[in-house]
Structure formats: structure tokens, C-alpha cells
Amino acid sequence: MDQKLAKHSIIMIFFTLSGAFFNYLYQLFMGRLLTPEEYGILFSLINIFYIFSVISATVQTTMTKYTSKLKAKNQFNKLSYFWKYVLKKSLIFGVITTILFFIITPLLSNYLHLPSQLPALILFSSILFAYALPTNQGILRGLQRFIPLGLTQTLWSFLKFILGILLVYLGFSVSGALTPFLIANIVVFIISFYFLKDLMKIKPEPFKIPDLYKYSTLTLLSLLTYTASYSIDTILAKHYLTDFLAGIYSSVSVLGKIILFAPGGIAVVLFPKASELKEKGLNHFNLFIKALILTIILTLPILLLFKFFPELTIRTIFGTKYLKAIPYLAKYALAMFFFAISGLIMNYLLSLGITRVAYLLSITLIFEIVGITFFNQNIQQIIDIVLITSILSIIVQIPFLKSIKNILTN
């Protein structure tokens, strides 16, 4: 299992980095093609999408959890039923939430001082398939089909990059940068069925799905608070800072999140493997420790690069107009380093069905929001609050890890 963890982690790290590569090419070209003011608008909307997309992540995580349980028991007929049941619900929910977000778009545009509602409307239209696609990807993850999973994730980022560059170059500005979110969702959703064609042929066996809504609700809260913790600072910065400083803050956030997203493939692999080991009554804590070590090994060099070569990094990626971000990069990157570790711990706990962590993570998010509300005079103050929040998000989860270790060793 340890060798498979390393092998599958390498596979998912490759695809995660490939996806991140196209995501950051997207950010790079957007930063160069748009003005700092336009870039601030784009990034504030994307961060709202990130926070909202936590529902999509919840769907994928829930699918992964139940798929890994059914896989461990070789109950593929029940898995076929579970998949089709959730897929139907996901499509219906996508239509409902799209309509709701269209309704609140005028209020949101006013809060963010957007000159037009069109970019927000375009982005929110992608919600139509924002749950159906993660449903299929969650099945792939639970079945540990990591190559098909990685391919769909990377293709999504590639389409966003290529189409985004094309549409912005043609003069569609922020609206053109956001249109690919919808197109990529549709295309990748259709392609994902190819990798599940064997499951489509299995006759569904109806069964009562235990604790589905309880697990998914607390998982949603966990992922929401965690995602909001590393995203909401940019939204608040757009509200409190000048348009120019909000654009500078966005560039810091984009670079810092390289550390956050780079090891994401490790958590993707750890989740179904730890869940399956738990179902079989085997030790899973050592697997978590190895995943933690892999995460640190992967992210530490990037952190050191940002610490000692911030000007080179910013000049290379964004150009000279974002050099004012130099003093803030290292500290923000450190915060994302801690958030990366926090996210790995959270995924491990959720894979074991420990959803109570949601309540404690909610407290850290409240701390962050209140902190930035009172301390927002400059970029440095906001980053200080983000750093403290990232450390707290690890501290509140440590008691759960100690409890798991004690249970397994006794």
C-alpha cells in the first residue's frame, strides 16, 4: 500500500501540477493582458467561485467516500445505483443554484464595485454542471482510477487557459476570461462518461444509503470553511483596499497559492486509500504520516524560492507592474504552506468519517473574517491575519490526530 501511495501520489502530483501549470498560465496571461483594476475584478470573482465550488468539492468528496466503501465490499451493483441517483440530483441542483445566483448578482456586483454585472452572470452560468462533473470525478477517485481522474482535471484547466486567452485577446476582457469556465464544465463532463463506461453497464441495485446527508452536510461545512479561509482574504481585500492595491494583493495570492495547490494530488490519493483501509480494519495512520512527509518535501523548495528570490519570481511571472508585491510574497507563501498541511489533515479526517472537525474550522474562519474587518489598512495587516488563521487551522485538528493514533496503538 505504501508503494502504491507513492506511485499514485506521483501520478496525481503530475496531473495536479499540469493543471496548476495551465491555471497559472491563465493567471499569468490575464495579469499581462488585463489592467490591474480589471485583474482585481477577475480575481475577486474567481475567488467567489472557489468558495462556492466547495459544494462541488463536497459532492466529489462524498462520492469518493461512499465509492471507496462499496469498492472495499465489492458491491458494484449498489455503486451503479448510487452513482445514477446522485448524478440526477446534481443536475437538478445545478439548475436551481444557477437561478439563485443570477438573482443575487446585482447585490454582489454592488458590493464589489463592479462596473458591469455581465462577468458575474457568465461565471455563475457554469454552475449548471458544477455538481454533475464532480459526481463523475468522485466515482473515479473512489475507484482509484487516478489517471482518468487526472486527465479530466488537467483538460479542464487546459480548456480554461486556451479559450480564456483567445477570448480576452479578441477584446472580451473580463467576460471573455470567465466564459471558459462554462465551456470546460460541459466538455469535460461529457468526456468523463467514457472512463465510467464499464460502470454504466452494471445493473443498479437499489439500497438505502446510510447517513448520506449527515456526512455530506458536515463535509460541506468542513470544505467551505477551509476553502473560504484561503480565499476570502482576496475578496475582503478587494472591498477594503484601493483597486490598484487589490490587484497587487491578487498577484501575491496567485503566487502564494502555488504552494497550496501543488501537493493537492497527495490528498486526492490519501483519501480513498485511507477510507478503504478503515473499512478493512487496517492501520491507516502511517499512510497519513507518509503523505504529510511527501507534502512537506514538495512544498518546502517553493517556499524557499519565494523567500530568497521574490523579485525574480514576480518579475518573471507578472512583469514589472506588480513589483510592489515583493515585500509580501514570503509571508503569504508561508501561510499557504500551513494551509496545505491543514488541508491534508482535514482530508484524512474526512476519509475516516470524522466530520466534527467542521465546527472547529468554522471558528478559525470567523477569526479571520473578524480580524480582517478590523485590520485592513494595508496589505501587510491582512496577510498577518491570514498567517495566524493558517496556523490555527492546524492546531484545532491536532487533537483528532492524537485520538486516532491512540486508538490504533492501544
Nearest to 361, CA basis, from 154, 220, 161: 220
The confidence score (pLDDT) of residue 162 equals 95
Query: Are the CB atoms for 54 and 131 separated by under 8 Å?
Result: no
Query: Are the CB atoms for 340 and 295 separated by under 8 Å?
Result: yes
Q: What sign does the dihedral 88-94-97-103 (CA atoms) show?
A: negative
DSSP state of 195: G
Angle at 350 between CA 346 and CA 355, to 5 degrees: 95
Query: Are the CB atoms for 290 and 367 separated by under 8 Å?
Result: no
The confidence score (pLDDT) of residue 101 equals 87
- Grid cell locating 202: 452494471
The confidence score (pLDDT) of residue 51 equals 64
The confidence score (pLDDT) of residue 248 equals 84
Q: What is the mean pLDDT of the chain?
A: 88
Rounded CA-CA distance 201/212 in Å is 24
Rounded CA-CA distance 108/101 in Å is 9
- Grid cell locating 9: 501520489
A 10 A CB-CB count for 372 gives 23
* Residue where the block lists cell 514570503: 330
The confidence score (pLDDT) of residue 194 equals 95
The confidence score (pLDDT) of residue 280 equals 83
The confidence score (pLDDT) of residue 410 equals 66
The confidence score (pLDDT) of residue 2 equals 59
Phi-psi domain of 321 (left: phi exceeds 0; alpha: psi -120 through 50; beta: other): alpha
* 144 Cα distance to chain centroid: 19
Q: How long a stretch of residues is the chain? A: 410
The confidence score (pLDDT) of residue 350 equals 93
Query: Are the CB atoms for 177 and 164 separated by under 8 Å?
Result: yes
The confidence score (pLDDT) of residue 117 equals 87
* 117 Cα distance to chain centroid: 25
User: Domain tally for the chain?
Assistant: 1
- Grid cell locating 183: 465551456
The confidence score (pLDDT) of residue 300 equals 92
The confidence score (pLDDT) of residue 332 equals 92
Q: Tell me how far CA of residue 286 lies from CA of 224, 270, 404, 410, in angstroms.
A: 27, 11, 11, 15
The confidence score (pLDDT) of residue 96 equals 92
Q: Which residues of the chain have pLDDT under 50?
A: 1
